[in-house]
Amino acid sequence: MPDDNPIRILVWSDYVCPFCYLERPVLERIQAELGDEVEIDWRSFELRPEPEPTLDPNAEYLHRVWSQSVYPMAEARGLSLKLPPVQPRSRRAHEAAEFARGAGLLDAMNRALFKAFFEEGRDLADLDVLLDIGRSVDLEADDLREALASGRYTQQVLEDQQLARQIGISGVPALIVTAGAQAYLVSGAQSYETVMSVIAQARRESTSGKSSRLSSAE
């Protein structure tokens, strides 16, 4: 792929969304294959912000979705997810991830937060849990505690969500794939082949000199 036309993928996700975690193996494969030719950047999206009720972890429909969709996809993508025993609000987790961004550890924190919730069933709304996850990726716990207590990154999380609404994103995961002036919205936990085809299309249209636009590429 030509070096003068880099790919950027903005990923809106929520740490309580299993399909967002299930998109990580796809993005990790793309990153491994394309290296410096692609930049992947995680953005915040709360599925159930205050005052919207959180999900009932014992709800029948939730168990049905996991049985029919989550577990089969997890097996296919090599992840060991378990239906968490809690369904916390995710604002603090997003703020902790933004703190990690400043330390150059966003991707590591993103992976650790997903793993803690979907593989270990930990409560991502619990401050001590977030501090422990932060320590696991070499974040300074006292600084993280102060950042969360002061709401230092609240505005950044809210701005990410506002931008998502402006773009037309209403669910996650949602990927904006750009190459030069071209931008494509990819909704849902799509396959490696699907995302790579969108990347190829974006690059072809960028090199052909077409005008900037945001298109759906579901």
218 residues of the chain, pLDDT tens digit each: 345 668 999 999 999 999 999 999 999 999 999 999 999 999 999 999 999 999 999 999 999 999 999 999 999 999 999 999 999 999 999 999 999 999 999 999 999 999 999 999 999 999 999 999 999 999 999 999 999 999 999 999 999 999 999 999 999 999 999 998 889 999 999 999 999 999 999 988 877 755 445 556 54
pTM attached to this predicted model: 0.93
- 217: closest CA among 48, 109, 151, 200? 200
For residue 1, being part of any structural domain is answered with no
Q: What tens digit of pLDDT does each residue of 164-178 get? A: 999 999 999 999 999
For residue 100, being part of any structural domain is answered with yes
How many residues in the chain? 218
Q: What Cα–Cα distance (Å) separates residue 118 from each residue in 71, 136, 215?
A: 11, 16, 32
For residue 2, being part of any structural domain is answered with no
CA gap 112, 178 in Å, rounded: 27
For residue 112, being part of any structural domain is answered with yes
CATH number at residue 100: 3.40.30.10
The domain total for the chain is 1
Give the residue numbers spanning the domain of 168: 7-216
Tokens representing 49 are: 């912000």
Q: What tens digit of pLDDT does each residue of 179-211 get? A: 988 899 999 999 999 999 999 999 888 777 554
CA gap 21, 205 in Å, rounded: 30
